Each structure stands twice: as C-alpha cells, then as structure tokens.
Structure 1
Amino acid sequence: MRSRYIDEALRQEFRKVKMKVGFDGGSSVYEFRRNESVDAGQYNFLKDATSAPALSHFDYIIIGGGTAGCALAATLSQNATVLVLERGGSPYDNPAATDIGNFANTLLNITDPSSWSQLFISEDGVFNTRARVLGGGTVLNAGFYSRAEDEFVAEAGWERDEVEAAYEWVERKVAFEPPVERWQTAFRNGLLEAGVVPYNGFTYEHIYGTKVGGTIFDRAGHRHTAADLLEYANPNTIVVYLHASVRKVLFITTKGNSSPKAYGVIFQDANGVFHTAELASQGAGSEVILSAGAIASPQLLMLSGVGPAAHLAAHGVSPIILDHPMVGQGMGDNPMNPVFIPSPKPVEVSLVQVVGIPKFASYIEGGSGLSLSISLTRTFFDGVLNLLNKLKFPSQSISNLLKSLDLGLNVTTQAGVIVQKVSGPLSRGHLELRNTNPDDNPSVTFNYYQDPEDLNNCVKGLSAIISVIDSKGYSSYKYTGVNGRELLNLILALPINLRPRHITSTFDLKQYCMDTTMTIYHYHGGCQVGKVVDNDYKVLGIDALRVIDASTFLKSPGTNPQATIMMLGRYMGQKILREREAFRR
C-alpha cells in the first residue's frame, strides 16, 4: 500500500510534467508568464466606483474582491454577469509594494486612510489588520501556500476530487516552490533535530512532520495574489468597482414567501455618492454573495438588519429583517507567540517557507532578514495611538505604550524569528457593532487562551521552538552561549500588544503565552456553517444570499488558510453555476 507522501510526490511530479509539456488545464499562457507581473491593463473591467451608474443589474453581486471573492467572481463570470464591489484599491497601482522586500512596509502602513492595511485592535488588546485592497489578505500576508488537512475537507462535506481540481486551478496562477536558502535550511534542520519528523520535502499537502510549503512569491520575489485569478474571468461579463463601500444589503418579502429575499445592495463611492445594484432576476440563479471577510461579512449582515435583534435595535439599525442571534458569534483567531533570534551573521530575506506540523496542536513557522526601521515602527505606533484615542481606551494603556516606545525599536536584517501558532483554538469570542459606519471596525473579542487546552498547546509549541534554537542544526544563526529560553525575554521588552506584563521570579511559559499573544492574521468565524449559513453557504432564513469566505469556518484550515479560501471561491463558484444551469433547463 502506498503512503500519502508517495502519492503526493507522484502528484507533484505529474504537475511538473504538465508544466513542461505545456498542458495546464485551461490556461495556455500560464507557464510562459509565471515569473511575470500581471499586466493590469488587460483588466479593462476594473473601474473606480465613481464611474458606476445610479442603478445597475447583474446576475451575481459579490461584496468583497478578496481572497475568496476574486476566485468566485472569475468562476461565475464564465456563465453569468457578475459585479464585484471592493472597498479598497488595486494592488496593480503599486506593484513594488507587494514585493517580498516590502512585506513589512505594506503590512504596517496603517496611517494613510487609503492604504491597503487597516488596523484594528481587538478587545483582548492585540493589534491586528484588515485588508482593503483587491486581492484581500493575499496582498498583505507572508505568502505561505498550503492546503487544508484531509479532516477539514471531510468535515466540510466537500467533494474531494472537486477540491483537488479547484486547488490546482488556483495553483496554476499563484503558487510556486520557494528557493530554500541557508536560514530556512538551518530552521528545517533544527525542527528535525527537535523531533518534528519525518521530513516531507516540498509539498502543498498538510502532513505531520517538517515540510517546505508553497509560496505566492515567484523566484524574483514578486507577489501573486488572488487578484491574479481574475485573469480567468470573462472580461465581457464582469465588472469590478474599486473604492466601493457597501452600506447595506437590500431585502424584499414577496407574497406567499415568509423568508426575506436579498435583491440588491447600496454602495458609496469615494466622492460620497450612493449607487444601487440589483439582481437581474428575482428567480433562482441570481444572488447576493458576501465575501467581505471574517470581520466585514458579519458586520454587514448586522448593518443590513440580519443579526441579534436586541443588539441591532440598540444601535438603531432599522428595519430588522431577521433576528439571527448567531451572527457575529464563534469568532476565533489563532494566537501566535514569537521568539526573536539575533544572528551573528547576515541572513537572507525569507518569509514562511518551512513549517513544522507536530502531533500536538501547534504549528511552527519562521522567517528571516525582515527590516523594520525606527521611522516605520514609530509610524505604526502613531497609528495605534490615534486609534486608541478614537476608541477611548484607558489613558494608562496609552501612557504605558508611549513609555515603551522609548525602547530602541529596530529589527535588523541580521536576525530570524520563529513563531508558534495554536491550531484550531477552542477559545471563542464574538463580534458586535460599535457604530453603524461599515468603514469603521466593529468590536471584536477573541478570548485568546481562555481554554486551558490552547494554553497547553502554546507551551508545547514554545518548548519545541526552544529546542530548535538550541539544536546543532540552527547553531550558526545564534550567538554562542545564548540559549532559546533566554531569547524569549527579548519579546517581553517590546510593545507587541496592549496586554499587561506579569514579571515573576519564576519564569512561567503559560504566563509568557498570555503576555506575548499576537495574531497570525488567521481570524475566522462570525457566519459559521450550521449556525448562520447552511452547508451550501446560504444564509439560514434568507433567500438569494450566501456568505463565502473565512467567516464561515469553524476553524482555520491547515497551517495557513489562504489556499483553501481561494479554493473555496472556485469550488463554490462551480457549484453555483451548476445550480444555475439546472434552474434554466
């Protein structure tokens, strides 16, 4: 009987053969342009929302041109008219900003209202960001590409063959094998020495042990995002409006049907002008689809009158379309805890390439050579302080943060960082409206480490990181005489969150986990399957309205979710088209 690893190796070899012979399953130019940036000029369907008519009609209206939305829109456009409403701009306006060397600059650029990264601070005191750009989080993230675990696919009830085909559809445009250089090799060797075995080589699959995953950065360091999937779109049947802020979904209740039905949306352009887009048909085969992400999708449902009735009424939302108490519930975010390792010698710039997948529920990832200048760091915290003042956080928290900025914040290129991410956290929180402005952040609580099992997994992950740092395989990238345990103190000195520090005479890894909690940007929930949407992602109790994005997840898939979110857009797009065809027969 062949092992899963052998099967995966054969699949990877088959993919390479297909590339060599020019068979790419439908994208004839793919292999000749893998290392080239997309020419946005071919996207004549990208338009600023100021050019939108007062009223328009489409078969499908997709709210959010992000990780799922671009894949979904490209697929639906093959046999229907599609409108995508994206609140941000285009990544093609500044291609260099997405290159690997500008990763930190782009992610932490939060002070400009038109920037692609929007800061939000959870009620837990952890800094986080939301994407506001075509391509969504794939424009800002660390680029790691890895599929979901088999159990996730089975629990979702997806057809395995169709999932495989959808992943490959995505991979033909955006996924690459990374060039593993010296620091990542040392990190890999350290993981194996620490017992995270076996070594599975390069694979997109989620397999226990240590592996090299895919990346959305090509060999030249250029990022390929979900926006590139729009190359698949039919340019004659799709329109993407940029800087289009959706204010609410519109509903109607027809005679003889007790369920409200979505029939359109109202959106606002950058000049403050309102526009209406309606479904072309009030019959089956025409829908509004929320793909706005785990923050905006539940927020927009609430602002449209779908959510906990008492909460909506308290914020003056009217009319209340449906009392849906589970909207905004089940919010989860995988906590991340970092260890910073100064190196006695220069290291290459690398984001996540090698990952350790132990049997316990913590994933171990690393990167090297990222440069954060003093000016960039201070600019980021200026943005933090502005938001804290706006939200009226306790003045003592702001004062403490200001004091911490007196530290010499400067991460040089001569260092590595290794993080642990708790997998499938059991701790859950919720999302609530803060006001009725969809451009503002809602109130989000994740309750990091509330469940003791999450805390236990963090301790196991950090213990594994200490073993990696102290291994012979990693030894050339740390100073002699410094051990992994001592390096944990470096993070305690940095203002990485607003949580209180608990300095005790006896070092406690559990307390360290709670004090140094950061996000790895894999938040999910708020519109979960079985609670807000059904297995076909249709909103329970509402007709012609679906949610297709990470807000529907019960947990984050694999080590990093972007591959599966893009796959879901393709997978559901094909399923919706089959339903549309069946209706039209």
Structure 2
Amino acid sequence: MHKNMGSASLHSSFSALLLLILNFHGFCLTEKAPYYSFVHEATTAPPVSFYDYIVIGGGTAGCPLAATLSQSANVLLLERGGSPYVNPERIKMYNFTSTLADTSPDSPTQQFVSEDGVYNARASVLGGGSVLNAGFYTRASTRYMREAGWNEALVNASYRWVENKVAFQPPMLQWQSAVRDALLEVGVLPNNGFTYDHMYGTKVGGTIFDKDGNRHTAADLLEYANPAKIRVYLHATVQRIIFLKAVGPKRRARGVVYQDGTGKRHVALLKKGFSNEIILSAGALGSPQLLMLSGVGPADQLRAHGIPVVADHPMVGQGMSDNPMNALFIPSPQPVEVSLIQVVGITRFDSYIETASGMTFSPSLGRRVSNDLAKILSEDLAAYINKSADAKVDVGTFINGDSVRGGIILEKIMGPISAGHLELRSTDPNENPSVTFNYFQSPEDLRRCVNGMRTIISVINSQAFSKFRNRYLPTEALINLTLNLPLNQRPRHVTATTSLEQFCIDTVMTIWHYHGGCQVGRVVDMDYRVLGIDALRVIDGSTFHHSPGTNPQATVMMLGRYMGQRILLERLFGFGMK
C-alpha cells in the first residue's frame, strides 16, 4: 500500500507530522517570561552579518513569523522602534489613549494625516500595532480563509498558537453588557456568547488585555523563538533592499542596508542557499514604501525621486484601504467603567457595531481634543438640557478633567470597497509616505455606514441601554455634539437637518485597520512572493484586499505563524502545505 501512495499523500503526511512537531515545540515554551537574550540595540550589530532569513519589521506579523522560522533556521528580525517592555505602564489598558497620542521622542506611535484629512497612527515599536490598539481579538470568517486559499487546519492551529499566549476572555461589566443586550434587543441576532469566531449576530470577542489590564502583544510571541537561532535588533531602520545583478529574467534579493539609532549603517546579507529569503513585514505603509525605496514600484514615480528601477511594479502602493469608523458620543448620567472593545454586533448589511467607555473622550483622538473637550461638551450639553423646563442636571457631572463620563458606540464597515493609493514623499524611510484612502468613494460603503449609524441610534434608544442615556439629550443632540468636535481635518456641514450620509462623510475617522499596497495577485503571489523577484516575500496586512473579521490583529498574527510553518516545510522538504 505504501508503495502506491501518491506524492501528494506523502507530502500531506510529512506536513501533518511536521506541523505537530512545530506546534508541540511552541507550546513547550509558553511559561517563559518576556525577557529576550536575543534582543539588542542595533548599535551593537556588526558592520556585516549573514542569515538564512531577514525579516523586516517586528510587528504583528513579523514577530510570530520570525519566532516560527527560528525553529529551523537562523533569523534576523529588524525593528525600527524600541521595546514595549521598557515602560510597562505605557501599555496598560488605562493608558491606551495617551500612548496612542504620544508624540515624545521615544513614542511607539508615529502620527500621520492621510490626504483625506483623517488623523491616523502608525506603530514604531516591537509588537507593532498590537502595542497601540484597542485590544479586540477575533478571527476571520471561514469564507475569508477559503477565499485566501489558506489551509483551514493549519490556520486554526496557528490561531490557537497565538491565542495560547496573548488572548483572553474579557470581563463583562455594565456598559459593555448594556450595549450587548441592546444589540440583541434591536435585532442583531443571534446571541453568539463569547467566541473568537466570526459569525453574524452579537458576540463577546477576545481581548489581548488580561484581567489586570496588562496588554499582551505580538512581541510576547517571541517567547516561542529558539534563542540560539534568532537575533532581534531595535531602532534598526532599513534603508533599502539589496539585489543581485540579473542573471536571468528575475532579480534576486541579496540583503538589506539598515541604520542604527546613531545613524551608522549596517549590512545584513542572506547566506548562500536557494531557500534563504528576505521577508517584508513592515505593515501596510512600510512594506510598499520600502519596496519603492529599493527600486520596486511604479517606474515613473521611482525615477521622479532619483531611485534606480529594479523592477517596474505599477501595482505597488495601489489598493490602499482604511475601514472608515463613525461614532456617536454618549455622556452618561451615571459613572461608567473603563472598557475598550469587547462586544461586537456583526450585521447582515456588513457593518460592525462596537463600543468603548470611560476613556479620554475618544480612542482615535487622544490629546487633540482634550483641551477643548470640557468647553465643547459643556456648551452643547447645556444648550439642549436647558431647553427642558424640568431639567435638573449639572452639566459639570459629565466632565472629569479631560475625560468624559460616558462612552462611544461606533460602526465600522466591512471591506471596504473604496480604495486609494500610496506614494513616496521623499527617499527618507523615516518620513511617512503620502496615502489616500478615498473614504466612501463607493456608494455601497456609504450605505453601510448609514445603516450602521441607524443601528447605533436604535441601540441608544433601547430599553437595555436606558440607564446610560440621559433623557434630556435627544438623538439630534448627540449627532450635533459629534459634528461639533474636531474629529478630523475635513470640512463640516452642520445644519438643522444634517443627513446621516453627510454625517458619515464629515465625521469619518480611522479605526487603524488600513491595508493594501502589496496585494495578493497584484504585487505578490498566493505564497506571498513578490512577483518577478526571487528570495523576496511580503507577509503582513499590506497583502490584504479586505480587512479580515471585525478587527484584523488576530489574523495578522496568525498569518505570521501560518506562513512561517509553510516556509519551513518548503525549506525542509521542498514543498508547502496547500
């Protein structure tokens, strides 16, 4: 019988066996503390070094990818930011807003404003966006996995590998429970309880914050790494990828040039070996930017910046999308807990309803509005409350310094369909590229937003949410309050009859789920290899056509683990797991 076994069956058997070995090895390491002997400042790096794999970007995908590859190969991981463990207080849940808005020299956040006039943030820290985000952990849908061509068994095992280290069931306190019950009351059914899975209805998802409010990030996944086979350099900014001269139809990646914190340059090269590769995991902004800086991108744009063209790749930087977020801000007549995203309503019209409470006004604004917040709120709330003859409300009770006693209920649309592009501003890798997302360019995206806002209004007016709703504040007051806040740099159209369509356009914010720029089928193939170039892959959210699930971080971490195992299978046996 074994003599007649086909090669596909043999490959499958070997793949399954290796998968078990890899996962067993990982789970044996779960009790290690987050101290890494292999993490160093880039100033300690030698002028020239050699590795089997060079991973650019120690973020949400790069950390699990490098940890996995280190089980069977020598790996270099280059991260342009610092360590999240230097200041543990900074990554506590209650410091979410202040960390996201941090503009200090050692900030893990790099602020930028898109060409659409929307404030945004880019991670610059080991662990990437998982160090800055609102912590919601939820898987992609089964349909998404199948459309991506991923092996379902390997995907599920990779998710579990991640979850074993960083995912938790959140506590359900009053505000989050009220929004969950309200979603069910207004018909976002069924009640799916607590689950990581993506399915229509209302659910409690996972969180990367433990019961004590400590954040667990993708950097924690480096605990799985083989310390003898991995080196991580911090404050290592890659300047460009080095390519060998063309011998045949394709160029081949050879190494990278990177700069340490003092400005000194270093070179890392691939060891000789056909399987060795450079892998870009620098994120939706960083990966297309670095390809262009290395001469891989639209030829006209590269020449305009004086960059020698290695490969004319017109789709690099195209297909940039950011899931638009719109919200209503609800001052509460009673105290609320501090909570980030825990509950989600997944509607059948493809808008996702989520909530947060007790933070400094808005997670997406941070300090931009904190100084003006009390004044704006007091004036707007007083204007409506004073219209009621029997109002006995002290407006000051809604304000506590620059914090609001209340929360937000937001909607994010699936996809989205609308897309834009990314372009270089300069040849400086430290400078953010120019990016345009074209929010609501698609009428379908706008329709989903309007339906989402209608659902939010129904939630606010529900019986389940009534204890957090002030009866002197009609829906129009909450809408106008939101319209009056400096949410972005876009023009406002505030009238007595502002439509929900105009509200969506005027108050659009990011939820930091931007993706695209190196999409599968356009820039990379189904195995994430850059088309037309050998020994170079891109593995991160820049390869996505749509954002997975309601929130992408779980899937980005999973993808790092998943592709790490696929690459090792190819390295050891000459084939991957399809």
With structure 1 as the length reference, what TM-score do the two structures score? Answer: 0.88
Q: Paired residue for 1:554? A: 545
Map Cα deviations across residues 450-494 of structure 1 (whole Å, 9 max, x no partner): 110000000000000000000000000111232334312111111
- The equivalent residue for 2:233 is 241
SS of the aligned residue for 1:537 comes to: coil
Deviation at 1:569, TM superposition (A): 0.3
- Number of the residue aligned with 1:50: 43
Q: Which residue of 2 aligns with 1:64?
A: 57
**Distance in 2 between residues matched to 1:555 and 1:473, nearest whole Å:** 33
Alignment of 1:532 with 2:558, yes or no, is no
- 1:363 aligns with one of 332, 352, 367: 352
Contact 1:466 1:485 in 2 (8 A): no
Q: What SS is found at the alignment partner of 2:66?
A: helix
Residue 160 (str. 1) matches residue 152 (str. 2): yes
Residue number among 304, 317, 325 corresponding to 2:314 in the alignment: 325
Task: Go from structure 1 to structure 2 and tell me whether the alpha carbon gap of 1:381 and 1:308 turns closer, same or farther (over 3 Å shift).
Answer: farther
Structure 1 residue identity aligned to 2:446: L
Partners of 1:26 and 1:580 lie apart in 2 by 19
How far 1:29 moved relative to its partner? 6.4
How far apart, in 1, do the equivalents of 2:523 and 2:77 lie? 23
Letter of the 2:49 partner, please give it.
Answer: S
Counterpart-to-counterpart distance in 2, 1:93 and 1:381: 28
The residue that corresponds to 1:460 in the other structure is 451
**Match among 492, 499, 502 for residue 493 of structure 2:** 502
* In structure 1, C-alpha distance between the alignment counterparts of 2:572 and 2:152, rounded to whole Å: 22
- Whether 1:517 and 2:508 are equivalent positions in the alignment is yes
Contact persistence 1:245–1:267 (CA under 8 A)? yes
Q: Is the contact made by 2:360 and 2:366 (CA closer than 8 Å) also made in structure 1?
A: no
Distance 1:448 1:242 in 2: 34
Aligned residue identity for 2:306: G
Compute the displacement of 1:508 (Å): 0.4
| Cα distance, 1:25 vs structure 2 | 7.9
In the TM superposition, residue 193 of structure 1 has moved relative to its aligned partner by 1.0
C-alpha offsets along residues 388-430 of structure 1, whole Å, 9 cap, x if unaligned? xxxxxxxxxxxxxx99998469652510110000110111100
| Matching residue's letter, 1:328 | G
> Over residues 68-116 of structure 1, what are the superposed CA-to-partner deviations in whole Å (9 max), with x where a residue is unaligned?
000000000000000000000000101111111111110111x223200
Structure 2 residue runs of 5 or longer lacking an equivalent are: 1-22, 379-400
Tell whether 2:441 aligns with 1:450. yes
Residues 232-271 of structure 1 mapped to structure 2, 5 A cutoff: 232-255=224-247, 257-271=248-262
SS in 1 for 2:239: strand
Q: Is the 2:369–2:486 Cα contact (8 Å) retained in structure 1?
A: no
2:269 is matched with 278
Q: Which residue does 2:297 correspond to in 1?
A: 307
Q: Is the 8 A contact 2:480 2:494 kept in 1?
A: no
SS of the aligned residue for 2:27 comes to coil
The C-alpha deviation readout for 1:497-526, integer Å capped at 9, x for no partner, is 000001234220000000000000000000
Is contact 1:55–1:276 with CA below 8 Å preserved after alignment? yes
Secondary structure (helix, strand or coil) at the match of 1:91 reads coil
For 1:120, the equivalent position in structure 2 comes to: 112
Superposition pairs of residues 34-433 of structure 1, within 5 angstroms: 39-41=33-35, 43-109=36-102, 111-255=103-247, 257-281=248-272, 283-317=273-307, 319-371=308-360, 380=368, 407=376, 411-433=402-424
1:129 match: secondary structure? strand
**Aligned match of 2:387:** none
Dislocated runs of 4+, deviation >4 Å: 23-26, 402-411
**Equivalent residue, structure 2, for 1:399:** none
Q: 1:574 to 1:217 in 2, by over 3 A?
A: same
Kindly report which structure 2 residues correspond to 1:451-490, keeping only aligned pairs within 5 A, or say none: 451-490=442-481
Letter in 2 for 1:285: S
Which residue identity is paired with 1:553?
F
CA drift at 1:27: 2.3
Deviation at 1:26, TM superposition (A): 4.6
- What is the CA distance between 1:371 and its match in structure 2? 2.7
Summarize deviations over 1:521-570 as a string: whole Å, max 9, x none: 00000000000000000000000000000000000000000000000000
Structure 2: distance between partners of 1:213 and 1:406: 35
**In the alignment, which of 553, 574, 578 is matched to residue 565 of structure 2?**
574
Alpha-carbon distance in structure 2 between the residues aligned to 1:176 and 1:406: 38
Q: Given residue 62 of structure 2, which amino acid in structure 1 is its aligned partner?
A: G
Measure the CA separation in 1 of the matches of 2:185 and 2:292. Answer: 50
Matched letter for residue 82 of structure 1: V
Structure 2 counterpart of 1:287, one-letter code: E
Q: Which amino acid aligns with 2:315?
A: M
Instruction: Kindly indicate whether the alpha-carbon contact (under 8 Å) linking 1:404 and 1:495 is maintained by their aligned counterparts in 2.
Output: no
TM-score, with length taken from structure 2? 0.89
* CA distance, structure 2, for counterparts of residue 334 and residue 371 of structure 1: 22
CA distance, structure 2, for counterparts of residue 339 and residue 25 of structure 1:
47
For residue 530 of structure 1, what is the amino acid of its counterpart? G
8 A contact 1:284–1:580 mirrored in 2: no
Separation in structure 2 between the aligned mates of residue 478 and residue 433 of structure 1, nearest angstrom: 46
Contact 2:239 2:429 in 1 (8 A): yes
Q: CA RMSD in A?
A: 2.0
Q: SS where residue 347 of structure 1 aligns? A: coil
Amino acid at match of 2:297: G
> Residue 258 of structure 2 aligns to a residue in which SS?
strand
Q: How far apart are residue 194 of structure 1 and its match?
A: 1.3
The CA distance in 1 between the partners of 2:24 and 2:455, in whole Å, is: 40
Is the CA contact 2:58–2:77 (under 8 Å) kept in the aligned structure 1? yes
**Alignment match, 1:11:** none
Distance 1:377 1:524, change over 3 A: closer
**Secondary structure in structure 1 of the residue aligned to 2:534:** coil
Going from structure 1 to structure 2, the CA distance change for 1:406 and 1:321 (only over 3 Å counts) comes to farther
1:27 matched residue in structure 2: 27
CA contact (8 A) 1:527 1:552 kept: yes
The offset of 1:188, in angstroms, is 0.5
Flag the 1:403–1:414 CA change in 2: closer, same or farther, 3 A.
Answer: closer
Which whole-Å deviations, capped at 9, do the CAs of 1:329-377 have from their partners, x for residues lacking one? Answer: 000000000110000111111000010001011100001111359xx95
- Kept in 1, the 8 Å contact 2:358–2:406? The answer is yes
C-alpha separation between the residues in 1 aligned to 2:366 and 2:518? 34
Conservation of the 8 A alpha-carbon contact between 1:284 and 1:583: no
What letter matches 2:332 in structure 1? S
